[in-house]
Amino acid sequence: MNGGPIRIAVDCMGGDRAPGEIVAGALAAARAHGLSLLLVGVPEAVTPLLPHEQPGAGADPPSPTVEFVPSDRAVPEGAPPLATLRAMPNASMSVTMRLIRQGRADAAVSAGSTGPTLLAAIREIGMLEGIRRACVGRQILEIHPETFLIDLGPTIDCEAHHLVEFAVMGTTYMRVFGGVAEPTVALLSNGREPGKGNKVVKQAADLLGRSGLRFVGLVEGHHLMAGEANVVVCDGFVGNAVLKTVEGLGREAAAWLRRELEGIVPAARADEIARRLIAWTNPIDLRGSLPLLGVRGHVVMAHGASDRTAIHAAIGQAVEAVRGGFVERLRAALGDMREHLGRAKMHS
């Protein structure tokens, strides 16, 4: 990061409501945080949305510093990510990530399709030293924001060392974003007794026990729901299934509650209770974004349906990552973990 305002690159073409809502949210966030924006997109689509006044300190609130960076359109929904990115080297998400590599941006935000955005970040920015897989994670229950589940989809087939890396990423996230000084780590399994789990979980449990992290062992699904650990680790196949189950259960339970409460409590009160239940089990609707973990830069992936409020929040998370030195702290935490495992191997 340079000595001036934080510089955020925003993919204006990604997302269901691009580019109008993306640009509006980015400009609002820039005013709120005093940012410098690099807005990436197709010229004829984005330039009419840009502010015409010159930036200056006299405005109230001050006009953000805005630079437009031309690109091609976003990768179409459902297109094969790798082949399409090769055929579209200047797709909006690729150009956005490239600005980090070039040192022009401190962080990037995109509401584009998850697969192409993730792949564009890996191709343009690269992975942190020793990290084999990028991943995403988040708090899946608003009633337990102190619990972070990782991975949620990108890495379907894992080896034990991937799960250990996920644990380091999750603990660093909770330190920077969750305010937890010494996060506890658990592995999601089919029982909490030692020796439970498949081969990969057993191997990962052994490594985590020697990693220097606060590993508390195995947990089952109901322990995850009760918030018994700060970071719960699993592969992306399991994590995505858990995430979608929780989200779906919350929505179905809310619909059932509305039916059961009909005629018993006022309709407005029933709707309020149902909305709270959905919010507790679908916090992505509130948070609106996920940091991409494992790449050599600060990247936030916003929900595809993001409106200007969600984009504002996503950029706020990117700012928090930059100010908290997330990538630098993750790099240091990975080094500590490898040192612990190396010492443990020497003494075994």
- Helix or strand or coil: residue 185? strand
**Rounded Cα–Cα distance for residues 99 and 70 (Å):** 12
Q: Do 46 and 126 lie in a common domain?
A: yes
156 and 172, same domain (yes or no): yes
Is residue 10's pLDDT more than 90? Answer: yes
Judgement on whether residues 58 and 148 belong to the same structural domain of the protein? no
Mean pLDDT of the chain: 90
- Where in the sequence is the domain holding 113, given as residue range(s)? 7-131+294-323
- Tell me, yes or no, whether 348 lies in a domain: no
Q: Do 107 and 180 lie in a common domain?
A: no
Minimum mean pLDDT range among 141-145, 228-232, 308-312: 141-145
Report the alpha-carbon distance of residue 282 to residue 207 in Å, rounded: 32
Number of domains, the chain: 2
Residues 118 and 151 in one domain: no
Indicate whether 12 and 122 sit together in one domain. Answer: yes
Tell me, yes or no, whether 332 lies in a domain: no
pLDDT digits 0-9 by tens, 111-166:
998 889 999 999 999 999 878 888 889 888 888 989 999 998 878 888 999 999 99
In tens, the pLDDT along 284-306 reads: 655 567 889 999 999 999 988 88
pTM: 0.85
Strands, DSSP E only, in 91-220? Answer: 107-110, 137-138, 148-150, 184-188, 214-219
Question: Left (φ > 0), alpha (ψ -120 to 50) or beta: where does 195 sit?
Answer: left
Structural domain includes residue 289: no
Which pLDDT value is given to residue 147? 94
User: Coil, helix or strand for 19?
Assistant: coil
User: Residues 211, 124: one domain?
Assistant: no
pLDDT at 194: 87
> What is the CATH number for 65?
3.40.718.10
Is 306 in the same domain as 264?
no
Question: Measuring CA to CA, how many Å separate 50 from each of 12, 113, 141?
Answer: 11, 24, 37
- One domain for residues 30 and 121: yes
